Amino acid sequence: MTLKDELFGPDKEDVYKQLASDLNGKFICGDFYNPIKVEVPFKNWTITIDTNVTKDFNVGSSNPYGDSEYTRIRVPFIKTGNFQIAITNANTFDSITKLFGAKDIIIGDQKFDDLFTIKGNDEIKVKLLFSNSLIRHLLIEIKKINLVIREQEGFLGTQLPETVNELFFKAKDVILETEKLKLLVQLFSEILEELHNIGCAKNDNPNINLTY
């Protein structure tokens, strides 16, 4: 660790460059409209790691309308059917987990079920997905999770065609721990592979260029 890191903490650009190097990914410089990002290839998919900014309103804060930066990870994939799932820590709630027609699903692993809330629209496929013990292990290692399959990125995000869904992770803040980012990339790889195995995703390149 350098003296600069000890005094001010790790620099996001340095962390992302190291991550790209370690995972044989691509570091992409940011511009006025887009943050710096890392693209990691996995089979015919591309796992994109970057940060985004949202407006927060915090009552009592000295800056109640301040911007809040957070880490996000995204992977578009060609869907088969309309499988939906959301994974959060137990007893937490976030707007991205509001899935129409979804219900809470118990996986059957006591330790896992105590830590996470799983919502989905197909209980059989959800249980098939989490029958992968490595996925459960990675989630337990990562601890804090907010992950969903979504149909669109929103008004300002990349517009996805009807044939494409996106596996999406959102943190509450900026993750600068390289090892934790590696765990998240591994988690995405395992989930994508399992989505293909259970017939929810095609192993084809969706040819989507994620911006903003």
- Beta-bridge partner residues of 68: 54
Helix, strand, or coil here: 102?
A: coil
pLDDT at 15: 97
Query: Encoding tokens for residue 115?
Result: 């830590």
pLDDT at 6: 46
| C-alpha to C-alpha distance for 101 and 136, rounded to whole angstroms | 24
pLDDT at 63: 47
Strands (E), 16-151: 26-28, 37-42, 45-55, 67-78, 85-89, 103-104, 116-120, 146-150
pLDDT at 66: 54
Q: From the centroid of its chain, how far is CA 2?
A: 29
pLDDT at 58: 46
- pLDDT tens string 20-66: 999 999 999 977 777 899 999 999 999 999 998 875 544 444 444 55
Interior angle at CA 75, CA 79 and CA 168, nearest 5: 95
Per-domain boundaries in the chain: 3-58+65-197
- Which positions of the chain have pLDDT values less than 70? 1-9, 55-66, 93-102, 155-156
